[in-house]
Amino acid sequence: MQAFVLDRYGKKSRLRLADVEKPQPREDEVLVEIHAAGVNPLDAKIRSGEFKRLLPYRMPLILGHDIAGVVVQVGSRVQKFKRGDAVYARLDDFRIGGFAEFVAVKESSLAYKPQGITMEEAASIPLVGLTAWQALVEKAALRPGQKVFIQAGAGGVGSFAIQLAKHLGATVATTASAANAAFVKSLGADIVIDYRTQQFEEILHGYDVVLHSQNSQALDASLRVLRSGGQLVSLSGPPDPDFGTTIAASRFLRLVMRWLSAGIRAKARKRGVGYAFLFMQASGEQLREIAALIESGAIRPVVDRVFPFECTPEALAYVEAGHAKGKVVIQRQ
């Protein structure tokens, strides 16, 4: 099969098109012919080596974390899926490989594609949808009537999280450029802060939840937005000890995570708020919940651009530039 392969870590490392062996599904896996694949900042960060301590991939590596396609083969223990099923998934860590013709996916990480949307729209959902779900529903337990601040509302995670938060009954504030203000309001944002001219911590107060995805300066400022007892969930770190336990990290790595997050955890305790780091995990069960929301019209996919498969390196460069509104997707004909 054809796939785009990464040979070495590095910001300037370029993906190359190669003929590689088609994966064979294990007993609990499904082989999917990929029709579309999402492109995420996570792919660029893995390529550059930012996560090589947490996710030590072996080279050569096929990137790509979320896919939509059709089942072509099932393992002997697979019960929920059969050949011909239209499906979507966030691929498990160490089993990624969406920038290819085929990929083997754990049955537990797979779900039926939401009805009424295209393969390209379906491929835009898994990583950002699961991230928003696990941050707002699992970590923060967001409830009706609460106030949530979601940073970077026009991005992939932000555009999904705004819609999910509104569905959960929350008041939503977000940051965006003036050019994207109308767009994030159309998704459900109640308050839009122009990050180029305004400081969000000077405007927002008494919030129940902050979904942080920006730099360390924004992380510290986010604490000042929360009420006592509020919850800060960070997607960009630093990782906390609970995360180390979740991924069964070595004792040394857990100590490193404790040290890296000591400062922000101390500041959070001083202000009487919670701090949690989230690195999203694959879940077919949660994707089924998300599919129901999409089919009901509560949430709509937001796709910025669709690139043909042969332009996968260009799609990754476009995402890395940081100007995408919603998600970027690769399409296979």
Give residue 256's pLDDT: 81
Same domain, 144 and 245: yes
Whether the bond into 60 is cis, omega within 30 of 0: yes
pLDDT of residue 51: 85
Shared domain for 117 and 149, answered yes or no, is no
Looking at residue 143, which CATH number applies to its domain? Answer: 3.40.50.720
- Tell me, yes or no, whether 110 and 215 share the same domain: no
**pLDDT 10s digits, 33-44:** 999 999 999 999
Closest CA to 20 of 7, 44, 40, 2: 2
In a domain, 291, yes or no: no
**Average of per-residue pLDDT values in the chain:** 95
Domain end, chosen from 277, 292, 311, is at 277
- The reply to whether 293 falls in a domain is no
- pLDDT, position 179: 95
Assess whether 138 and 118 both reside in one domain.
no
Query: In 218-315, at which residue ranges do the beta strands (DSSP E only) sit?
Result: 226-234, 274-277, 303-308
pLDDT at 248 over 80: no
Q: Are residues 146 and 273 in the same domain?
A: yes
| pLDDT tens readout for residues 94-129 | 999 999 999 999 999 999 999 999 999 999 999 999
pLDDT of amino acid 122? 98
Say which CATH number the domain at 75 has. Answer: 3.90.180.10
Give the least confident one: 54-63, 125-134, 307-316.
Answer: 54-63
Indicate the pTM of the whole model.
Answer: 0.95
Q: Are 106 and 95 in contact (CB under 8 A)?
A: yes
Neighbouring residues of 277: CB distance < 8 A, sequence distance ≥ 6: 233, 234, 237, 238, 239, 240, 242, 243, 261
142-194 residue pLDDT tens: 999 999 999 999 999 999 999 999 999 999 999 999 999 999 999 999 999 99
In a domain, residue 132? The reply is: yes
Three-state DSSP class for residue 71:
strand
Whether residue 83 is found in the same domain as residue 151: no
Q: Evaluate whether 105 touches 28 at the Cβ level (below 8 Å).
A: no
In a domain, 286, yes or no: no
CA atoms within 13 A on the CB side of 199: 10
Asked if residue 87 and residue 37 are part of one domain, the reply reads: yes
- Inside any domain, residue 287: no
Residues 135 and 222: their CA atoms lie apart, in Å, by 15
Q: Are residues 18 and 73 in the same domain?
A: yes
Structural domain contains residue 296: no
Same structural domain, 121 and 133: no
Alpha carbons 116 and 39: distance in angstroms, whole number: 22
164 and 140 share one domain: yes
The number of folded domains in the chain is: 2
Residue found by looking up tokens 């491929």 in the block: 123
Residue 260's pLDDT is 79
**CA-closest candidate to residue 140, choices 207, 60, 192:** 207
Instruction: Give the model confidence (pLDDT) of 206-216 as tens digits.
Output: 999 999 999 88
Range 268-273 average pLDDT: 95
Beta carbons of 109 and 29 less than 8 angstroms apart: no
User: Domain range holding 142?
Assistant: 128-277
Nearest CA to 65 out of 89, 32, 48 is that of 89
132 plus 269 within the same structural domain: yes
Task: Kindly give, in sequence order, each residue whose CB lies less than 8 Å from that of residue 326, ignoring residues fewer than 6 positions away.
Answer: 124, 154, 155, 156, 159, 301, 302, 303, 304
Whole-angstrom distance, CA of residue 323 vs CA of residue 243: 29
Inter-helix orientation angle 156-167/126-133, to 10°: 50
Residues 44 and 115 in one domain: yes
Q: Which of 49, 77, 53 is nearest to 63 (CA)?
A: 49
